[in-house]
Structure 1
Amino acid sequence: MAFWDFVKDAGKSVFGSEAEAAPAPQAAPAETAPSETDRKVAALKAELKNLGLTAKDVHLTLRGGDTIIISGKARDQETLEKLVVALGNIKGIARVEVADDTSTETPAPAGAKPVFHTVQKGETLSAIAKRYLGNANSYHQIFEANKPMLSDPDKIYPGQTLRIPQA
């Protein structure tokens, strides 16, 4: 199983507040109400759908409240890496694991390992591009590799994890 750690307190909030999650007094009996885990998995799936990263053969499991496990079959390695980054950059998620039985329809090149970078205070995409790609003007490659999670190359934040494209 491959795994990546993320900054749990950084990222987009999709789970809502505890007050929003609390059942109303007239709520259905507990046996029919979704569990907190089910509610969080549904919120994660909704976020992936909003980003256009859904796949019917990819399954999510939440363990311990802050670890998400991806299993099943993704379209390709790029999509799988985007799933890891999209899920890991959600506030409250500390770790994303890819189960050993996870595969892609298009196999990754032999020996290819995903490269991720956690943004530090004061960093820019240009600085990150210079570090990993050797040219600050290659920042657009990192921006494109992180779409649709990024909508503007100037809007990155400390604690955010970015996917670094490999040549």
Structure 2
Amino acid sequence: MGILSFIKEAGEKLFGAASTPAQAAAPDLDAQNKTAGDAIVTYIRSQGLDATNLQVSYDGTSHTVTVAGEAADQPTKDKILVAAGNVQNVDKVDDQLTVTTPAAAPTQFHTVVSGDNLWKIAEKYYGSGAKNDVIFQANTPMLKSPDKIYPGQVLVIPPV
């Protein structure tokens, strides 16, 4: 549990500029935050991810998503957190998820910068670019292709 940082200008476009909670009038802020949270839940589930009692809330003022519930395992938890954070207008994810089966080793996260590719990232974390498929598999279904990463995207780097 903790706070994960993301780049709010990068990621999936789930809610447009017109519905960005920070730009809304004060009386509509709660409704817009709820709409944004619901859109993020829908996106998480569209990726084939879920958790028991999954709850997602969005605070447009701080650009923070809070994710709670119980994931079946650490890889599912990591994917839910990354899916929630790799959304435009999300700056932080407050991880309140628990795990039914805890992982033996901690997960790392990597923020993609210009010039990165999965081979370079695998070399950095594993000492071998040939292990790039481990990173790709840990980030599916959010990643559709190993070549489709972008600056600002946060990737799960699982232990090997």
Question: What secondary structure sits across from 2:90 in the alignment?
Answer: coil
C-alpha distance in 2 between matches for 1:92 and 1:4: 14
Identify the range of structure 1 (142-151 vs 48-57) with the bigger mean alpha-carbon deviation: 48-57
Q: Is the 8 A contact 1:57 1:74 kept in 2?
A: no
2:99 to 101, 104, 110: 104
Q: Which residue of 2 aligns with 1:27?
A: none
**Aligned Cα root-mean-square deviation (Å):** 2.1
Question: Which residue of the other structure, out of 49, 58, 63, is the alignment partner of 1:62?
Answer: 58
1:147 corresponds to 2:140: yes
Q: Once the two structures are superposed, what CA deviation does each residue of 1:93-125 show, in whole Å capped at 9, x if it has no partner?
A: 0001112xx32111222xx32200001101111
The unaligned stretches of length 5 or more in structure 1 are: 22-29
Taking the aligned partners of 1:45 and 1:56, their CA distance within structure 2 comes to 13
Equivalent position of 2:37 in the other structure: 41
Partners in 1 of 2:126 and 2:158 — Cα distance? 9
1:59–1:70: 8 Å Cα contact kept in structure 2? yes
* Paired position in structure 1 for 2:12: 12
Alignment TM-score, normalising by the size of structure 1: 0.84
- Normalising by structure 2, we get a TM-score of 0.87
Report the identity percentage: 36
Where does structure 2 lack aligned partners over 5 or more consecutive residues? 22-26
- Within 1, Cα distance between the matches of 2:145 and 2:126? 20
Q: 2:81 aligns with which of 68, 79, 84?
A: 84
Q: Determine which structure has more spread, i.e. the larger CA radius of gyration.
A: 1
Aligned AA (1:82): K
Question: Against the structure 1 CA distance between its residues 137 and 84, is the aligned structure 2 distance closer, same or farther, given a 3 Å change threshold?
Answer: same
* Corresponding pairs, count: 153
The question of whether the paired residues in 2 share the 8 Å contact of 1:37 and 1:65 is answered with no
Instruction: Please give the alpha-carbon distance, in whole angstroms, between the structure 1 residues aligned to 2:81 and 2:111.
Output: 13
Structure 1 segments (4+ residues) deviating >4 Å: none
Given that 1:142 and 1:165 are in contact with CA atoms closer than 8 Å, whether structure 2 keeps it comes out as yes
